[in-house]
Amino acid sequence: MASSEAKQWKEVVKSEMDSIVSNGTWKLVDLPPGCTTIGCKWIFKKKLKPDGSVDKFKARLVAKGFKQKEGIDYFDTYSPVARLTTIRVLIALASVYSLPIHQMDVKTAFLYGELEEKIYMDQPEGFVAHGNERKYLANGTRPDISFSVSKLARYTSCPDRTHWSALDRVLRYLKGTVSLAIHYGRFHAVLEGYSDASWIAKNSGSNGCSGYVFTLGGGAVSWKSAKQTLITRSTFEAELCALDTTGIEAEWLFGLLSQLPILSQPLPPIDVHCDSQTTIAKVKSRKYNQKTKRHIQVRLKSIRALVSDRVIGIDFVGTKDNVADPLTKELDLSQVNKSRLGMGLKTH
């Protein structure tokens, strides 16, 4: 290693190899006839402290599983990793009920799993530095930049000066609001959702944008801003698609909260706020319109089923009071400030 930190990297590489050997993760064998191997590589990463100094060096030896083919080399896949949404929900409930929070970690936990298939991997040959694209702020702690990050991410392969300028604005905004964080308080343990969409009228037939925010304990626990995968031809269709996406997340959150004994069961429906009266009227109406496109009918039926099953309830909220509004379009700073307060984003 030519790095000035070679000593630290060698130490963590040795620690990783010791863990692999002590856990019996592999054994050296001759390659059977007709079998092929997959390669491996090292992943290196520094864990930093809040002040930017190095906390620890980390090294992982990984197999190049992306070269395997589903149905041939493996069948079922599952990653037992908690969603950030789950973690935020638990933190919010801990705040509501004044519960202590404990955190723990199992070193090299992934080495304790049992593989059903036989995997033949090449022996480690060298050292490869690797970098990862991260969207932690937008996905983890700053829902107010979700729309900007989602939009900029579409141009990562071919950005021009306009996109770099927009990125610079996002970074300057973050620098000016670096003290903002999601605050959960001792509010009632009531989960609420907000759904919104934007439809580009000047480009009829274009993909709109969906956004949702769920709050618990006064702070956001789940949110998303994404370009719609369907072409919608009206504001109603765009809002309905957004409401359907919100309903899918609401159903998952409802299932999560239903498993927590600290909450009174059965749970009441999750209130989902929508700023489209037309969409709400269509959902509550049982009339069938043959002119409605099939993909819109499917989403309409899905939302009606969630309402019928008492998973969600839908009510109207004004656009200016819709917390999900900044996740679908550009807004002036005053409206952004109002919406982020609704998400629980406050200074320390």
User: Among 39-43, 141-145, 192-196, 223-227, which stretch is predicted with the lowest mean pLDDT?
Assistant: 39-43
Whether pLDDT at 143 is above 90: yes
Share of the chain above pLDDT 90, in %: 47
Task: Write out pLDDT tens, residues 194-252.
Answer: 999 998 755 444 688 999 999 999 999 999 999 988 888 889 999 999 999 999 999 99
Q: What is the CATH number of domain 136-347?
A: 3.30.420.10
Predicted pLDDT of residue 25: 73
Predicted pLDDT of residue 70: 60
Whether pLDDT at 78 is above 90: no
- List beta partners, residue 274: 195, 316
Pairing state between β 270-274 and 180-182: unpaired
Alpha carbon 163 to its chain centroid, in Å, reads 23
CA distances, 5 to each of 8, 44, 56 (Å): 6, 12, 12
Is the Cβ–Cβ distance between 200 and 208 less than 8 Å? yes
Predicted pLDDT of residue 296: 85
Is the Cβ–Cβ distance between 189 and 89 less than 8 Å? no
CA angle centred on 326, ends 320 and 330, rounded to 5°: 105
CA angle centred on 167, ends 208 and 242, rounded to 5°: 20
Is the Cβ–Cβ distance between 261 and 267 less than 8 Å? no
CA distances, 181 to each of 48, 50, 86, 152, 184 (Å): 19, 14, 18, 23, 10
Residue 48 token pair: 């930093």
Angle between helices 294-308 and 235-258 (to 10 degrees): 40
Pairing state between β 192-198 and 270-274: parallel
Predicted pLDDT of residue 119: 65
Task: Write out pLDDT tens, residues 102-128.
Answer: 887 766 555 555 665 666 665 564 433
Say which residues have a Cβ less than 8 Å from residue 172's Cβ, sequence separation at least 6.
none
Residue 226 token pair: 């994404």
Predicted pLDDT of residue 123: 55
Predicted pLDDT of residue 157: 76
Q: Hey, where are the domains in the chain?
A: 6-112, 136-347
Average pLDDT over residues 252-279: 94
Predicted pLDDT of residue 19: 81
Can you give the C-alpha Rg of the chain in angstroms? 24
Question: CA 319 to CA 330: how far, in whole Å?
Answer: 13
pLDDT, greater one: 35 or 315: 315
State the average pLDDT for the chain: 83
Its pTM surpasses 0.75: no
Is the Cβ–Cβ distance between 239 and 279 less than 8 Å? yes
Beta strands in the chain (DSSP E): 40-48, 54-63, 180-182, 192-198, 207-216, 219-231, 270-274, 312-316, 345-347
- Residue 97 backbone phi and psi in degrees, to 5: -100, 10
Predicted pLDDT of residue 129: 31
Predicted pLDDT of residue 344: 94
Share of the chain above pLDDT 70, in %: 82
Whether pLDDT at 159 is above 70: yes
Predicted pLDDT of residue 27: 72
Alpha carbon 343 to its chain centroid, in Å, reads 16
Predicted pLDDT of residue 126: 40
CA distances, 299 to each of 171, 205, 283, 302, 308 (Å): 37, 18, 10, 5, 14
Whether pLDDT at 256 is above 80: yes
pLDDT, greater one: 155 or 276: 276
10 Å CB burial of residue 10 (0-12, 13-18, 19+) is: middle
Residue 103 token pair: 């955190």
User: Rounded to the nearest 10 degrees, how much is the dihedral formed by the CA atoms of 88, 93, 98, 102?
Assistant: -50
Whether pLDDT at 89 is above 80: yes
Task: Write out pLDDT tens, residues 42-56.
Answer: 889 998 888 888 889
